[in-house]
Amino acid sequence: MPVVPPDVFLKAVNEVVRDNIEFVPPYGSGGALYLRPLLFGSGPRIGLQPADEYTLIIMVIPVGDYYKGGLEPVDGLIITDFDRAAPRGVGNVKVAGNYAADMLPNMRSKEKGFPIGLYLDAATQTTIEEFSTSNFVGIDSENKKYVTPKSSSVLPSITNKSLMTIAEEEGLTVEEREIPIEEMESFDEVLACGTAVVVTPVGSVTMMGDDESGHDAKKYTFGDSDDVGPITRRLYDRVRAIQFGEEEDKHGWNFKIE
């Protein structure tokens, strides 16, 4: 697929928001106008080869505050019987196939009472990769570290990049590297980050054993699993403040609609 030129993309964003300006939730509601760009091959070709024409569309929808009950920790399940993305595959790009692989395990996880799943690397099942639809972040508050996986199978998140910048401003050392599953025990806070939610606090992550009764499960708990950690809260509040114009946007992240 060709890369969409930044000026073309920003012009499309400007026009679609301007044309739907009456659907932008008012300031103070906690809502937003969610944008979803989509690039697809539209040329008259059915063979298994790149298209000779592509179409860019941007869909918008007004959404409410993601956390209706407030920012609260969720419990995660480590997915061991499915892989989200293969090494040297397309796990690092936002394609539909990356979401399809999570549909069945996500449904089964929720049936067990876990609203979010965490995937390990497909090759060895020994290092942390990412949550179902979000990047993984571990906080070591004692050593003031913000740790997130570095892997060719992980989808880079602009929200994660923004959080890394803010974390450094807050005095944390940012580390992008392999994270062995055993290192979970050293994290005081864990969060999943993504565009719509910004951050989802994770109170615990469980790895089921071979015993289907769950008696041999391994559970990692982070801080007070019932409360949002102070660093997670601070990072979330600062991102939202920049988005709402309550804090100076010194990094130029916001885009003004003309």
- pLDDT single digits (tens) 70-81: 789 999 999 999
Is the C-alpha dihedral spanning 48, 50, 56, 59 positive or negative?
positive
pLDDT of residue 214: 53
Beta bridge partners of 204: 75, 221
Name the average pLDDT for the chain.
92
Pair of tokens at residue 27: 């300031």
Task: Kindly report the number of other CB atoms within 10 A of residue 175's CB atom.
Answer: 15
Pair of tokens at residue 180: 């062995």
Active site residue 94: yes
The catalytic position among 11, 68, 94, 112 is: 94
Rounded distance, CA 199 to CA 175, Å? 18
pLDDT of residue 45: 87
3-state secondary structure of 145: strand
Residue 125 pLDDT > 70: yes
Fold of 74-242: D-amino Acid Aminotransferase; Chain A, domain 2 (3.20.10)
Tokens 């008259």 belong to 44
**Delimiting residues of CATH 3.20.10.10 domain(s) in the chain:** 74-242
Q: In the structure, what pLDDT confidence band is assigned to residue 68 with cuts at 50, 70 and 90?
A: low
pLDDT of residue 255: 92
Say whether pTM exceeds 0.85: yes
**Contact indicator for 220, 198 with CB cutoff of 8 Å:** no
Mean pLDDT of all residues in 205-231: 80
